[in-house]
Each structure stands twice: as C-alpha cells, then as structure tokens.
C-alpha cells in the first residue's frame, strides 16, 4: 500500500509542475498579446530626412496625406526624393481614435514634393501606420540623423607614427 501512495504523490507532483509551466506560459502570452497593440510609431517619434546622408536613387515612393482638419480627400503628397533632397522631418503628434486609427503628424522642411501636390514648408496631416513605416524606412529609421564623429576625436585620430 505504501508503494501506491509514493507513485500517486509523484504523479501529482508532475501534474502540478506541468500546470505551473502552462500557467506561466499563458500569463506570458497574455502579456505579449497586450503589448502587440502598442507596436508601431510612438507619439514624439521623429523621421528625419537629411540631404547630407546617402540616399538610394531607386527610391521613388510617394505617400498621399489627408488633411488633419478633417476635410476629406488628399491634402498633399509626401515624396521621399523631394523630402530627402531638401531636408526636413516628420514628427508624430497624436494617434486618432478608432475606426480611422490614423496618426496626426507634422511635416516641416523645404518641400514635400516637387509638383503642385507639395505640402509646403510646414503642414499637419494624417497618415496611416503603413505610410509612416514606409517613410521611416526611406529615411533610414526613426530618430534624428545619426551623430557624426567630429574630426580629430578620440575614435578617428590617426595612429601616431613612431
């Protein structure tokens, strides 16, 4: 009779261990799913187009932007070639409530397009997440231009000759 009690307590231990692992995995999965809704651009993110940075001549993306004042239709076009050539930036200012799920962004720069669809030197427009990611990819990512090392800094000093 003692042998059966030992086997049953070992079985309960294994089952309890499996339940703990399953519960831990379920809690982790729920936490991950809650964070998935927070993926994408964040308020305050900047997309910077610097004319001094290298740019692929193959990129010719144009993104139609809607007016932020609620008027339907396309307000203007954000052309990555023109924005890179003239320089400028896009700042994510707000996220619109569902169902539109659009982002209110502010464009500032020389010009957003080389034709009549130019947003001008400054504009508040609405973009969807996919358009923002396209622009960020064309600009080389989020954030301002990477800091350059100044001449004769510690990291780029020539090795002294002996």
Question: Tens of pLDDT along 40-66?
Answer: 788 899 999 888 887 766 677 899 998
Per the domain annotation, does 25 fall within a domain? Answer: yes
Strand boundaries in the chain, DSSP class E: 46-49, 62-67, 74-79, 88-95, 103-109, 122-127
Q: What does the radius of gyration of the chain's CA atoms come to, in whole angstroms?
A: 26
**65 and 119 belong to one structural domain:** yes
**pTM for this entry:** 0.64
Per the domain annotation, does 102 fall within a domain? Answer: yes
Per the domain annotation, does 161 fall within a domain? Answer: no
Rounded-to-integer distance, Cα 48 and Cα 84, Å: 9
Per the domain annotation, does 144 fall within a domain? Answer: no
pLDDT-derived band at 5 (thresholds 50, 70, 90) equals low
Residue 83 clears pLDDT 70, i.e. is over it: yes
Q: Smallest Cα–Cα separation from 83: which of 65, 61, 116, 58?
A: 61
In this prediction, residues 86-97 reach a mean pLDDT of 91
State both tokens at 34. Answer: 């809650």
Instruction: List the single range of 58-72, 78-92, 118-132 with lowest mean pLDDT.
Output: 58-72
Could you give the number of structural domains in the chain? 2
**125 and 50 belong to one structural domain:** yes
**17 and 51 belong to one structural domain:** no
In this prediction, residues 108-117 reach a mean pLDDT of 92
- Over the chain, what is the mean pLDDT? 79
Range of the domain at 63: 46-139
């Amino acid at each position: 009779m003692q042998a059966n009690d030992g086997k049953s307590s070992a079985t309960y231990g294994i089952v309890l261990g499996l339940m703990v692992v399953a519960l831990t995995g379920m809690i982790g999965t729920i936490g991950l799913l809650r964070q998935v809704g927070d993926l994408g651009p964040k308020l305050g993110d900047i997309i910077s187009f610097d004319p001094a940075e290298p740019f692929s001549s193959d990129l010719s993306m144009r993104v139609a932007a809607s007016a932020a004042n609620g008027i339907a239709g396309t307000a203007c076009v954000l052309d990555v070639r023109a924005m890179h050539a003239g320089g400028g930036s896009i700042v994510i200012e707000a996220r619109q409530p569902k169902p539109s799920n659009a982002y209110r962004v502010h464009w500032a720069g020389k010009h957003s397009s080389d034709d009549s669809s130019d947003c001008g030197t400054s504009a508040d427009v609405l973009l969807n997440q996919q358009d923002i990611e396209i622009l960020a990819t064309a600009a080389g990512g989020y954030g301002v231009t990477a800091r350059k090392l100044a001449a004769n800094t510690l990291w780029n000093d020539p090795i002294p000759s002996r």
